[in-house]
Amino acid sequence: MNLSPRIVPLDSLPRELKSAVQPHGEWRLGLLTSLDGSQLITLLLQPVTGEIQLWESPIEGNRYHSLTDFGIPQAHWFERGLADLFGLFPEGHPRLKHLLMHDQYPVNFHPLRKTPLSPEENPFSTRRFPFLEVSGEGVFELPVGPIHAGVIEPGHFRFSCFGETILNLEIMLGWVHRGVEKRMTEVPWQRARFVAEAAAGDTVIANALAHSIVVESLLEVEVPRRAQLVRTIALELERLAMHIIDVGGLATDIGLLGIAASMSRLRGKALGMGERLTGTRFMKAFVQPGGVRKADEAALSFIGKGVQELRKDVPPAIDMLFGVQAARERMSVGKVSHSLAVEFGFVGILGRGSGVEYDARTVFPHGAYPQLAPKPVIEQNGDIRSRGKIRAGEISSSLDVIAAALDELTDGPICADLPRNLPADKFSCAIVEAFRGELIHLACTDKNGAFHRYAIKDPSFNNWTAISIAIRNNLIADFPLCNKSMSLSYSGNDL
């Protein structure tokens, strides 16, 4: 969707933003970022009506009053990112620490800033990460990571424990910071989609789709209906495969290995459907600006058959997981309350598990949504089981969406022709419901029609705070399961 920014002076930004995001949940803070370090860019989303606003607040110097400090907790992670990437420092931020770049980088290096900072302008003299210290007799620290015991992405967790109980968890991310956002602006725009797909390797279609929507709205290109439906099928296949393996992950961590093995077999089926449709298991290089690359009838009827098989095969395995008493007890912890979920703006499974009725598929147009959007699956308890139940519910609603899209498919073109050049000085954004939740791409072109700034907000960027909240005062043994129930992305956060 194309946007033009409204100028909101920096002085009135906190007041205006606060009145927008309160009372609870009227507007969401979609993005808080900058273009080159000389302004704040605020993207606001209305999660019921689908309205979008873009604010621009020019900054003199490199300091601004922290919005977090003004009572807008949704901003706290964004402000840390702004400090690292742009050298813009929030005054009064309650816990300003580095988020993406640590002592492997020079302290005064800010990759997306146009004019370098002088050392006096930088409040940090080191990039070392100061962990919150919990003191008291018998309190000890447990460091975990960055390299984890299993086959997962890197991150560092610092637990402050008293006996088996976690008093505080502090998370240090940024280990897989690869400079994706900068790279998006370094390559010709026709190649940028391959970089977008590498933002998070499990969110390939969602990222490719968001990127395509951004480019298509800049170019004012209409996507053929057949392509929209095929994109929807691909997005739901991605959701299906990842939800299945995430439910399997719960079974693994509870110790129900038979169910876990079955879930990975079933995920293989979902990936196989994607492979037939797109050519690869992770559906890479398939969704492209203008449409999709191919859509042959044999693959689509194969998917139709696969949907019927999965409808039959998946529910018994999931029912067994939720039917085991021991599993139910293990899944009763890790609570995130509704009020905190709203305050921190948690998205996707995490938000819906705590009763937040927000699913981008029902609000913002992408693919064949909102026409084909399923009714959001909502749970109120906010615990591990709620999140598992939502995955189970969404597995079946995704299968329904795929079936509905297949029914509606008619012949027609699958890709529109694109003009060669992007328009100059334009803003465009896309909001896509990835399997983890709301994914945002925001692009701004320069006077030559190249990307001047390309921002990606992975759903996990909102959600990482939740694990610290949910695990507090729980047993250390419950952490892996709680973590699995949130399925947070390290690479999507670190970019």
Partner 1 sequence: MIKLLSYLIGNGVVTSRDICPPLEGGVRGLPALTDSSCAGSGCSACADVCPTSAIKVLSVDEAGSITLDLGMCIGCGLCVDICPSGTIVNDLSTKIATTSREALILSNEAQLVSTISGGDAQQHKIRPDRLFGKSVAARVVSTGCSGCDLELGAAGNPIFDIERFGVHIVASPRFADVLLVTGPVARGMQDALKSCYEAMSDPRKIIAIGTCAISGGVHRGGYAEGNGVTDLIVTSVFIPGCPPHPWSIVHGVLVAMGRAEPRIYQRRKVEMPSAVRTEATQRKALPGA
455 near partner 1, judged by CB under 8 A: no
320 near partner 1, judged by CB under 8 A: yes
Which one among 132, 152, 326, 424 touches partner 1, defined by CB under 8 A? 152
Answer whether 386's CB lies under 8 Å from 356's CB.
Answer: no
CB of 40 to partner 1, least distance (A): 22
Alpha-carbon distances, residue 302 vs 267, 297, 309, 412 (angstroms): 16, 8, 11, 20
58 near partner 1, judged by CB under 8 A: no
Joined together, the tokens standing for residue 468 give 């610290």
Residues contacting residue 286 through CB under 8 Å, at least 6 positions apart: 205, 208, 234, 277, 278, 279, 280, 292, 293, 294
Alpha-carbon distances, residue 20 vs 38, 52, 324 (angstroms): 23, 12, 45
Per-residue burial over 366-381, b = 16 or more CB atoms within 10 Å of its CB, e = otherwise: bbbbeebbbebbbbeb
- Count the site residues for partner 1 by CB under 8 A: 69
Which one among 86, 175, 364, 369 touches partner 1, defined by CB under 8 A? 175
379 near partner 1, judged by CB under 8 A: no
Q: Looking at beta carbons only, is 45 or 208 nearer to partner 1?
A: 208
Which one among 28, 76, 183, 243 touches partner 1, defined by CB under 8 A? 183
CB atoms < 10 A from the CB of 280, how many? Answer: 13
149 near partner 1, judged by CB under 8 A: yes
311 near partner 1, judged by CB under 8 A: no
Helix (H, G, I), strand (E, B) or coil at 482: helix
- Four-point Cα dihedral 127, 113, 464, 69, nearest 10: 90
CB of 115 to partner 1, least distance (A): 11
Q: Looking at beta carbons only, is 180 or 229 nearer to partner 1?
A: 180
Kindly indicate which of the ranges 43-51, 99-107, 332-340, 423-431 contains the residues binding partner 1, using the contact rule CB under 8 A: 99-107
315 near partner 1, judged by CB under 8 A: no
291 near partner 1, judged by CB under 8 A: no
476 near partner 1, judged by CB under 8 A: no
50 near partner 1, judged by CB under 8 A: no
CB of 317 to partner 1, least distance (A): 7
CB of 388 to partner 1, least distance (A): 17
Answer whether 290's CB lies under 8 Å from 216's CB.
Answer: yes
* Helices of type H across 288-409: 297-323, 325-330, 338-344, 348-353, 360-363, 384-408
221 near partner 1, judged by CB under 8 A: no
480 near partner 1, judged by CB under 8 A: no
Which one among 142, 147, 424, 477 touches partner 1, defined by CB under 8 A? 147
Q: Phi/psi at 330 (nearest 5 deg)? A: -60, -30
Q: Looking at beta carbons only, is 110 or 352 nearer to partner 1?
A: 110
d(CA 121, CA 89): 9
d(CA 76, CA 32): 10
Q: Looking at beta carbons only, is 7 or 149 nearer to partner 1?
A: 149
Q: Phi/psi at 474 (nearest 5 deg)? A: -105, 170
Joined together, the tokens standing for residue 318 give 């999931």
109 near partner 1, judged by CB under 8 A: yes
261 near partner 1, judged by CB under 8 A: yes
Answer whether 432's CB lies under 8 Å from 366's CB.
Answer: yes
Q: Which of 471, 486, 440 is nearest to 47 (CA)?
A: 440
355 near partner 1, judged by CB under 8 A: no
Q: At 322, which amino acid appears?
A: F
140 near partner 1, judged by CB under 8 A: no
x-marked contacts with partner 1 along 114-133 as a string, rule CB under 8 A: --xx----------------
Q: At 185, which amino acid appears?
A: T
Residues contacting residue 258 through CB under 8 Å, at least 6 positions apart: none
36 near partner 1, judged by CB under 8 A: no
Backbone angle region of 307, left / alpha / beta, with phi > 0 → left and psi within -120 to 50 → alpha: alpha
262 near partner 1, judged by CB under 8 A: yes
Kindly indicate which of the ranges 61-69, 180-188, 232-240, 362-370 contains the residues binding partner 1, using the contact rule CB under 8 A: 180-188
Which one among 28, 76, 98, 110 touches partner 1, defined by CB under 8 A? 110
Q: Which of 401, 376, 463, 391 is nearest to 242 (CA)?
A: 391
Joined together, the tokens standing for residue 439 give 């994914």
201 near partner 1, judged by CB under 8 A: yes
365 near partner 1, judged by CB under 8 A: no
d(CA 234, CA 295): 11
328 near partner 1, judged by CB under 8 A: no
198 near partner 1, judged by CB under 8 A: yes
Q: Which residues are near partner 1 by CB under 8 A?
A: 101-102, 104-111, 116-117, 146-147, 149-154, 174-180, 182-183, 186-187, 191, 194-195, 198-202, 204, 245, 256, 258-259, 261-262, 264-265, 267-268, 271, 275-276, 279-282, 284-285, 296, 299, 316-317, 320, 323, 489-491, 494
